[in-house]
Structure 1
Amino acid sequence: MSEDILEQGEPIPGDERSLLIVDDDRPFLARLARAMEGRGFEVETAESVQEAVAKVKATAPAFAVVDMRLGDGNGLDVVQAIRDRRDDARTVILTGYGNIATAVTAVKLGAVDYLSKPADADDIYTALTRRPNERAEPPENPMSADRVRWEHIQRVYEMCDRNVSETARRLNMHRRTLQRILAKRAPR
């Protein structure tokens, strides 16, 4: 194994270095694939849920980095497909629309970490190779009040099975206001 891998964290376990990266942002996908190849992974890429699930069925990877929102569906479907084929796989979810409810779902499906975009290759590598009993470091900056509000809205939205009208009713909020909030990225 290369010194680069040993310096940045735990070496990739065994001979299994297969990594599937699933993201519909082509420039990001290409950059991350190059960065992970430089860290010793054998990288496969996919730009959709359908393509990713087909690759998982052909050969289940030891590692995966999966975007939450893809053009043809939810990245959690890819995590589930990986877990069904290989229960020792280490999967990290990436999202620009992070919220607690989907993070909990991702972990229940077997993801080892949940990172908000923009995440750099070092953060992703660390999450993939972290020992199972090793804890992630707490964030340097706690959530802002706007972020806490946004997280609450997302949690209620997930509890209502992503039904905008029902979520708006429960939050005592106008439906169009809620739609505008849901369309935006998470506040910092």
Structure 2
Amino acid sequence: MSESQDAEKKKLLIVDDDERFAERLSRAMDRRGFEPVIANSVADGIRLAHSESQEYAVVDLRLQDGSGLDVVKAIHESSEDARVVVLTGYGNIATAVAAVKVGALDYLPKPADPDQVAATLLQSSADGDMPPPPELPMTADRVRWEHIQRVYEQCDRNVSETARRLRMHRRTLQRILAKYAPHA
């Protein structure tokens, strides 16, 4: 690659504790004109955010050592104009609002499509407040499954408590939890 092409690449920080996912996303974003750097923890993400300003970032919400929102805050402390997208496998309205309040552009479900991530990062604010609808939105079955998984995790993986909160029979919940996630 020539030096002029390297100069045109946009600096991108990827913070995700799933190393395989982070590597795949890094390669995909490199092909889309970004120069990715990977951090696998909140501590590494904050260190990289403070060591050099980031133009763009993709941050997982839940990391082994804490919340990705702490990384988003650190990125905006060192670079107010940074464009940050938060990814998560367990989305809910409260965390989406929290992500936007600390400076995230958008909140996307995992596994995120690299084209959608790039489009969200590069979307100009003149395009309006709402991002374009996803090309392949989650099915109703997938949304239901994600909701059940989120409540299950919030109940510390306690099946009885999760069933009580979801107002469903415990055995029905066990059957749902035993199945794989429906396709997006």
- Structure 2 length normalisation: TM-score? 0.70
1:33 Cα offset (Å): 0.7
- Stretches of structure 1 that go unaligned for 5 or more consecutive residues are 6-11, 165-169
Give the number of the structure with larger relative contact order, counting CA–CA contacts within 8 Å between residues 6 or more apart.
1
How many residues are aligned here? 171
> Could you tell me whether the CA contact under 8 Å between 1:29 and 1:45 is conserved in 2?
yes
Question: AA paired with 1:32?
Answer: L
1:118 Cα offset (Å): 1.2
Identical-residue share of aligned pairs (%): 53
Instruction: Determine whether 1:138 maps to 2:136.
Output: no
> Could you tell me whether the CA contact under 8 Å between 2:116 and 2:134 is conserved in 1?
no
> Could you tell me whether the CA contact under 8 Å between 1:99 and 1:151 is conserved in 2?
no
Query: Which residue does the alignment assign to 1:77?
Result: 70
- C-alpha distance in 2, partners of 1:35/1:143? 21
> Could you tell me whether the CA contact under 8 Å between 2:85 and 2:107 is conserved in 1?
yes
Alignment of 1:55-134 (within 5 A): 55-134=48-127
**Residues 51-78 of structure 1: CA distance to partner in whole angstroms, max 9, x if unpaired?**
1101111112110000000000000000
Report runs of 4+ in structure 1 exceeding 4 Å deviation: 139-153, 170-173
- C-alpha distance in 1, partners of 2:70/2:25? 21
> Could you tell me whether the CA contact under 8 Å between 1:62 and 1:90 is conserved in 2?
yes
After superposition, the CA RMSD in angstroms is 3.6
- C-alpha distance in 2, partners of 1:44/1:141? 28
